[in-house]
Structure 1
């Protein structure tokens, strides 16, 4: 039976558990979280889904296992402890594959340190930016001429620019087939917004990134309503996706944009990894290339606004 470890049983971790239980393969799943409340919620949510394989079992624990082997580990903790948790996990256990949640890490040094750890322990890893798994974005990629320069813009309000930029940066990378991200402009607002989570911040304003000649502009206004529009422009194409309305306008073609929830994706991810030893998610090294320019930009901006010298970017 394949052994799966899910570390972090909060909002995302519990959805990963729901998805894992829909895998067609027989799974022995261990869920770890120091909070009894989180484990209880995860257990309740596990009971809400239909099981993909009747042989699958779940056990819950408040502490990390020791001297065990796991086929796949999903690390769904907050970004602030993710690197430490990874180090503790690999110091005591054997893991073949890891799927990390994002934002990956808050401190720049953690990217190189965890990369070295993964190499040392012979672990293959990916980062869970799932928009590249959405059928509608896969369909859009087919419409884009890879030889043309792409200008992508994400605009709207209330979409959590600090914690969610990486989703759109990853989508940009997927559509352009490149990962060497560079920062181009910082027009972020001078006022920081306190996140729902204590000690974390949200950002508004504009930021621009480049992949070669391809450009990505992110914009989030201070309006409270949630609105997200993604526009893609090239010489031969203009495509507009309204993520909230669920519409895609690609000139003469119009079709629906459907969000895939994590509980619908994790089982498919697990099946793909166990059956093929690979994943359609972003590999760890490429995701580091996409994360680090963003973390540098946002950390510098937050430090300037707070007049501090933080080494860890307080977004999660």
Structure 2
């Protein structure tokens, strides 16, 4: 069986999707929609070694698309994503849509795009890829039925505005709970420029309250040299995941009980995320509805710190 997959946006993130798809060892028709000629050429070069089972069509517009595709991946930045999604749905009918985060930067876009996809009966997931790490599944099973769990994520300059959504989702995945609020009170007052043009970042902490009573504290330190660590606590127990060092440690009352390897998996190595969508039209990644709930709390917290009026629903300058 041959699958047809459309990728909108083949910049750095888009090419990581192409790397993962090339490793599927399946017959694929890939359609890449990308306005930049250099990005299209880079995609063609990446896929050239796989021409025995992958055909590629790279173009700069939405013309002459098939009436349906098995999977559409939208890997653009946040600002143009709604326009790209609308163009996609006008040009073809995907069986499943995979969207990058930050998903959208206004509540209106979050709500109306959710209604759009739901009205067409198209399932959608958001690429918060830590749900694809097998060792996080193992940790989730270890946590079991504990309630009131908390998480502390801390490290130097890890781009909290771009990546904070990942950890709200990770907590939801590990704890089987949703955040009910996100506070910006512990962010530093002044933003700093992001690597994304026209966007901002912050140092300091965002603090989320979880439905089970625990808290999620996300801290991006201005001081350099502190590797990112994810700590999960429950009463006198603590699990510490150090993704860069490839280990997870479990302590009780401050005494180490064990340390074991932990594999942090890149998008380009998580072929299973794509096979389950293609084979079952389902995904372990967060649904649109789940991630949109995270995004609403998250972007409002950033807008409050920037002094923006929430009622005006102006775009939050993050991506």
On whether the aligned pair clears a TM of 0.5, the verdict is: yes
Do 1:131 and 1:167's aligned partners in 2 also have CA atoms closer than 8 Å? Answer: yes
* Aligned twin of 1:230: 230
Aligned to 1:179: 178
**Alpha-carbon distance in 1 for matches of 2:129, 2:163:** 12
| Equivalent residue number for residue 19 of structure 2 | 18
Unpaired runs of at least 5, structure 1: none
Supply the distance in 2 between the matched residues of 1:274 and 1:198 (Cα, whole angstroms).
35
Alignment of 1:167-316 (within 5 A): 167-184=166-183, 186-212=185-211, 213-225=213-225, 227-235=227-235, 237-251=237-251, 252-265=257-270, 267-303=271-307, 311-316=314-319
Task: Verify the 8 A CA contact 2:227 2:244 in the aligned structure 1.
Answer: yes
- Provide the aligned C-alpha RMSD in A: 1.9
1:145 Cα deviation from its structure 2 partner:
3.2
- How many angstroms apart in 1 are the aligned matches of 2:129 and 2:135? 12
**1:107-140 CA deviation, whole Å, 9 max, x = no partner?**
1110011011102222110000011111221111
CA distance in 1, matches of 2:152, 2:168: 10
Per-residue deviation, residues 206-231 of structure 1 (Å, max 9, x unmatched): 11102211210111111244621111
Q: For residue 88 of structure 1, what is the aligned residue in structure 2?
A: 87
Structure 1 segments of 4+ aligned residues over 4 angstroms from their partners:
none
| Runs (5+) with no aligned partner, structure 2 | 252-256
**CA–CA distance in structure 2, aligned partners of residues 268 and 188 of structure 1:** 37
Does the CA contact (< 8 Å) of 1:28 and 1:56 recur in 2? yes
Classify 1:144/1:196 alpha carbon distance in 2 versus 1 (closer, same or farther; 3 Å): same
- State whether residues 71 and 95 of structure 1, in contact with CA within 8 Å, keep that contact through their aligned partners in structure 2: yes
Cα displacement string for residues 292-315 of structure 1 (whole angstroms, at most 9, x for unaligned residues)? 1001101221235x9xx7711111
Q: 1:58: Cα distance to partner? A: 1.5
